[in-house]
Amino acid sequence: MHFLAYILRQTGKNLRQTWGTQVMTLLTVTLSVLIFAFFFLVYTNMLRASTRLGDDVRLIVYLDQEIPASTRPELEKKIRGFGPVEKIVFVSRAEAFARLSTQLGKEKDVLNDLGPDFLPPSIEVYPLKNLGDLTKISQFSDFLLTLPHAAKVQSGSDWLRRFGYFTNLLQVVVLLSGSLLIISMTFIVSYTLRLTVLSRQGELEILRLLGATSAYIRLPLLLEGMLQGLLGSGLGLAALYILYQWIANRFSGPGFLSLFDFAFFPPEITTAILLAGVLLCTAGSLFSIRRFIRI
């Protein structure tokens, strides 16, 4: 079958004829994949981190009087009415005192002078640990303050909320760089292909006269787009991996990154990005072929 050999040879010819532009296109595709994949990587890591934040995500409502067991279910229902909650714990004065004294251990003597009444009763609310709720924590705590007998609400650590906001911001960045990726790939690739078509205008015209089939004329151009997509996203991901390795080595040990347990994409995501790159570039070349080639 000489068919494949011809298509491949023609593709090679096209690439050689416009190689300067081809390199620029490849770089553009690589760069946009790199930018997108970078933000996406940070984002997915933050997402994973947020699910492991643990007890820090806790709201404590201090009360000015004990809540009798009989009214607890009603209160609980009210809290759950506001948003998804993992669990709610009612802590009475006595329980709070007992907890503190076990925490103090040997030094619990300091409590002797104080009666069990000095600690206020409280309700501990554990919201579901997902990002949407992290950013809603301040609203949640405002709400909790309106509960009967609520005196004060202590809402976890402030940085948690910031973390939530930051991750949301990152989500926007990921979406933006994703759109940039789509635009750059389809447009740049279709533009480059237009150059290929123009540089071969005379040849294409003759091929038409000689009865070249649509496949003979179009497949090499389609292949060109696919190659750009495959090479571009491959290089982009490889660059990101090198960057990731560098960062991981640089900041290994205890610290920010170990907190997040920074990890590279699993193979499925890598494959998906690669495929998306090929698909987008192929779409770009299809667009050009339909537009500029008349059979």
Partner 1 sequence: MLRDASNDKPLVELVNVTKIYPPDVVAVEDVSLRIYKGEILYLTGMSGAGKTTLIKLICRLETPTRGLIEVAGRDLSQISTAGIQRMRQKIGVAYQEFRLLDKQTVLQNIAMAMEVTYASTKAIRARVDELLSLLNLSDKRDKLAGELSRGEQQRVALARAAANGPSLLLADEPTGNLDPAATELVINLFRHLNEKNGSTIVVATHDESIYAETEHRVMALSNGQLSALPNHAPRQIELFEA
Contact positions vs partner 1 (CB under 8 A): 1-3, 6, 202-203, 205-207, 209-214, 216, 295
Q: How far is the CB of 205 from partner 1 (least distance, A)?
A: 8
CB atoms within 10 A of CB 193: 29
Nearer to partner 1 by Cβ, of 23 and 295: the residue is: 295
Strand 85-91: give its sheet, edge to edge.
85-91, 122-127, 59-63, 150-155
Task: Find residue 122's DSSP bridge partners.
Answer: 62, 91
Query: 216-254 b/e with 16+ CB inside 10 Å = b?
Result: ebbbbbbbbbbbbbbbbbbbbbebbeeebeeeeeeeeee
Q: How far is the CB of 217 from partner 1 (least distance, A)?
A: 9
Q: How far is the CB of 24 from partner 1 (least distance, A)?
A: 23
Nearer to partner 1 by Cβ, of 248 and 295: the residue is: 295
Q: How far is the CB of 203 from partner 1 (least distance, A)?
A: 6
Nearer to partner 1 by Cβ, of 3 and 246: the residue is: 3
Q: How far is the CB of 38 from partner 1 (least distance, A)?
A: 43
Alpha helices in the chain (DSSP H): 2-17, 19-50, 72-82, 93-104, 131-135, 137-145, 158-183, 189-199, 201-209, 214-250, 256-260, 267-292
The structure tokens listed for 234 are 């491959």
Nearer to partner 1 by Cβ, of 195 and 279: the residue is: 195
Q: How far apart are the first and last CA of the chain?
A: 24
Are the CB atoms for 229 and 185 separated by under 8 Å?
yes
Nearer to partner 1 by Cβ, of 104 and 295: the residue is: 295
Q: How far is the CB of 198 from partner 1 (least distance, A)?
A: 15
Q: How far is the CB of 220 from partner 1 (least distance, A)?
A: 12
Nearer to partner 1 by Cβ, of 76 and 203: the residue is: 203
Interaxial angle between packed helices 189-199 and 201-209, expressed in degrees from 0 to 180 and rounded to the nearest 10:
70
The structure tokens listed for 293 are 């080639």
Distance CA 36, CA 233 (A): 10
Nearer to partner 1 by Cβ, of 207 and 269: the residue is: 207
